[in-house]
Amino acid sequence: MPAEATETKKKAAAKPAGAKSAPRVRKAAAPVAVQRLRIKVKAYEHKVLDASIKQILDTALRYDAKVAGPIPLPTEIKKYTVNRSTFVYKDAREQFEMRIHKRVIDILDPSPKVIEALTNLSLPSGVTIDVKMA
């Protein structure tokens, strides 16, 4: 019995009072990296923007790509205030605004054929495209 008592005292001395054992941490499987093509499209006219979005979607769906979107983003409005007269009459002012319409399209796991078809796509002038691989 004295030998058992000394063993329990050694175990108690090794751990400070109230200390808990470290929790077991299970390593999760590494997440599979999904390749994504994010296309941001901007234009001043929403009709031209919608037509070019339709053209991009038709091209992507022709090659059986998984598409998320088009997601409309907030319209950016830039306002400019200008005096109507050259010298006096500060109260007479005119306001102009420019609206920039934006959309986002995500193409999940794009094949090389889809990427090539999108690069060869000709869109109308006035449409800005920003493509990012993620």
Q: Which CATH architecture has domain 34-133?
A: 2-Layer Sandwich (3.30)
Which pLDDT value is given to residue 14?
58
Which pLDDT value is given to residue 34?
57
Domain range list for the chain? 34-133
Rounded distance between C-alpha atoms, residue 129 and residue 2, angstroms: 82
Residues in the chain: 134
Specify the pTM: 0.65
Ranges under pLDDT 50 in the chain: none
Q: What DSSP line would sit under 33-62, residue for residue?
A: PPPEEEEEEEESSHHHHHHHHHHHHHHHHH
Beta carbons within 10 angstroms of residue 65's beta carbon:
20
Sole residue written with tokens 């796991």: 109
Beta carbons within 10 angstroms of residue 34's beta carbon:
9
Nearest to 84 by CA among 95, 96, 73, 92: 92
Residues with Cβ within 8 Å of residue 56, at least 6 apart in sequence: 39, 41, 105, 118, 121, 123
pLDDT tens string 68-103: 879 999 999 999 999 988 888 888 899 999 999 999
Rounded distance between C-alpha atoms, residue 55 and residue 124, angstroms: 11
The CA distances from residue 19 to 10, 16, 94, in Å, are: 15, 6, 73
